[in-house]
Structure 1
Amino acid sequence: MSDTLLAPVLFLPHGGGPLPLLGEPSHKPFVDWLSTLAPNLPRPKAILVISAHWETPVPSVTASEDPGIVHDYYGFPEAAYKIEYPVKGSPALSRTVIALLKQQGMLAVQDELRPLDHGVFVPLTLLYPNADIPCVQLSLLDHLNPETHIELGEALRELRKKGVLIIGSGLSFHNLKVFFDRQADGARGEQFDQWLTDTCCAPNHSYAARCERLINWETAPEARYCHPREEHLLPLHVCLGAGGDAPAEHVFSDYMLRQKVSGYLWR
């Protein structure tokens, strides 16, 4: 990657546990999209993933050269527990992330024991199936403050100049009860999805306005219906901060388990 070309920032809906890798029908549009996305992106030197499935009191970064993976789900077929993704870590990138966060006054720590969770290895299996690009995972903060997560992303912007692809792995809709309710009205989630896409992608919003809207995301239509708890939304806040002034591209839109979900890309 040229030194003058910024690596992109990608927010993706990682799906229901391992279902994207098990052939679940409603995940097929997502699988098809993510499996063909890599040729349309500059090949990164490394990947930093912020997953909805790791929360800590202070920002924590995986630091092992061989982090391994954890099958952090239950109740799925045996094949779900045979999935492997033997990607290498990058202690050097981990140290860089720590340094960037500390420059912004954020206490941050390395974690040499933490394996990569399914919010990392499931989408990366589709995006980079050869597992040949070093990967580091960064935690969410367990206070779930939206403004702090935008600031976290802003602190990481410099990584884009170094060829690091930043991925926010969550879901733009995450209400487990609704996912498994076949009578649930998908129109309610569509209202929030439309608001979210307008917030991230409409060119008439300034960066400050996008931040203000995401900080106050609970005021959006059907916000708490779509996110009874916001851990699957907050990777998007990190992506917004890392993406910078330009609006995002709405690169994925379809239904998972009968609910509308979206993906966004900052170039």
Structure 2
Amino acid sequence: MTSVAVPSNQDEWRAALESLPSTPQKIPAFFFAHGSPALVYARGFSGRSDFEQYQGPNGPLANFLKDFGPTLLQKYNPKAVVVFSAHWETLGERLVTDYGDENPLLMDYYGFPQEFYQLKFKSRGDKQLAEQIVGLYKEAGQLARTTSKLEPRGSDGRGFEGPGLDHGVFVPFRLMFGEEFGIPIVEVSIDSSMTPEANWKLGRVVKSLREENVLVLAGGLPIHNLRDFSSFAPDTAQPIHHSFHKAILDALQVNNTQERKKALQDLPKHAGFRACNPREEHFVPLYVAAGAAEDEDLKILNGLYGIPTIAFGV
């Protein structure tokens, strides 16, 4: 394994973003830290000042996302975005949004102040792309179908069951792209089996879209333990949390692609995995992005504790 520079501050992540190849003919796939509603308002997390400072509206994650989004548009000028989120999982069948002229928002969080339920993010779907993605999964031997605005996909904190892009999409996208985004967005569910290989295969299926000027993003948080909020910020995290974060970076830096795949898929065996992820849903999107660019090089764009972003296929 050859150690490479891991960006750990704004100057370094901006340099890493600037060094991304401008290749609209083959866009990298990205795993990104999608944060939480605290990216917009920290007020709902009173009493958790370290978390607010780190993952709140003025913290390094928010600042990174504000640099990340414009870079993606400048480098790749994508015709569409396909996004996988930790907050949408289905077992045995891929669901793909076909929401038409305006993507609704699913505010799938509860007990927050009213302003959290007044967030805006306007975007549209893409029927042709949604149907193409369904076709790709079917060709790969997987069950898949589209879902429309008429089909609820989960509980909304405003008091109803609804469809929509979940907060793992619209909250970071507001920072990345602004409150109105003219490029179509299609969301695809992750595999709730939570196995590394099953989610790796989800990414592999959409690999070809990268050569059709489609941006593939997979969002999660590799350290996500709501039972222990100290784990979310480096100053309060325990050594076991830091050890797992280092293990992620070490696995990403393995040069040989097959050895790297094994190192990544072995991460759930790490002694600190459960302390960081009581459940795997925020971790496995990493495998989706990796699968969409397997056997290719990667670049760590942001190596900050618990909130990394990686470009696969550079």
Report the Cα distance in structure 2 between the residues aligned to 1:59 and 1:216, rounded to whole angstroms.
Answer: 25
Q: Judge conservation of contact 1:48–1:136 (CA < 8 Å) in 2.
A: yes
SS at match of 1:59: strand
Q: Judge conservation of contact 2:190–2:202 (CA < 8 Å) in 1.
A: no
Matched with 2:103 is 67
57, 60, 65: which is aligned to 1:34?
A: 65
Q: How does 1:21-100 map to 2 (within 5 A)?
A: 21-23=40-42, 24-27=52-55, 28-41=59-72, 42-57=76-91, 58-65=93-100, 66-100=102-136
Matched with 2:227 is 177
Q: 1:3 to 1:25 in 2, by over 3 A?
A: closer
The structural deviation recorded for 1:68 is 0.7
The letter for the 1-side match of 2:41 is L
Q: Judge conservation of contact 2:25–2:212 (CA < 8 Å) in 1.
A: no
The letter for the 2-side match of 1:245 is D
Q: How does 1:187-198 map to 2 (within 5 A)?
A: 187-198=239-250
- Normalising to structure 2: TM-score of the pair? 0.77
SS at match of 2:301: strand
Unaligned runs of 5+ in 1: none
Report the Cα distance in structure 2 between the residues aligned to 1:11 and 1:208, rounded to whole angstroms.
Answer: 19
Q: Judge conservation of contact 1:195–1:221 (CA < 8 Å) in 2.
A: no
193, 200, 208: which is aligned to 1:150?
A: 200
Matched with 1:165 is 215
Report the Cα distance in structure 1 between the residues aligned to 2:29 and 2:260, rounded to whole angstroms.
Answer: 16
Report the Cα distance in structure 1 between the residues aligned to 2:303 and 2:254, rounded to whole angstroms.
Answer: 19
Q: Judge conservation of contact 1:15–1:171 (CA < 8 Å) in 2.
A: yes
Q: Deviations over 1:211-264 (max 9, x none)?
A: 223333222241111111000011111000002222321112335xxxx33111
146, 151, 166: which is aligned to 1:117?
A: 166
Report the Cα distance in structure 2 between the residues aligned to 1:141 and 1:50, rounded to whole angstroms.
Answer: 10
Report the Cα distance in structure 2 between the residues aligned to 1:132 and 1:221, rounded to whole angstroms.
Answer: 44
Matched with 2:189 is 139
Q: Deviations over 1:3-35 (max 9, x none)?
A: 97211211111113x111125422221111111
Q: Judge conservation of contact 2:27–2:210 (CA < 8 Å) in 1.
A: yes
Q: Judge conservation of contact 1:168–1:236 (CA < 8 Å) in 2.
A: yes
Q: Which has the larger radius of gyration?
A: 2
Q: Judge conservation of contact 2:225–2:277 (CA < 8 Å) in 1.
A: yes
Q: What's the C-alpha RMSD, in Å, of the aligned pairs?
A: 2.1
The structural deviation recorded for 1:191 is 1.1
Report the Cα distance in structure 1 between the residues aligned to 2:213 and 2:67, rounded to whole angstroms.
Answer: 20
Q: Judge conservation of contact 2:126–2:185 (CA < 8 Å) in 1.
A: yes
The structural deviation recorded for 1:75 is 2.1
Q: Judge conservation of contact 1:34–1:126 (CA < 8 Å) in 2.
A: yes
The structural deviation recorded for 1:193 is 1.2
Q: Judge conservation of contact 1:63–1:91 (CA < 8 Å) in 2.
A: yes
The structural deviation recorded for 1:190 is 1.5
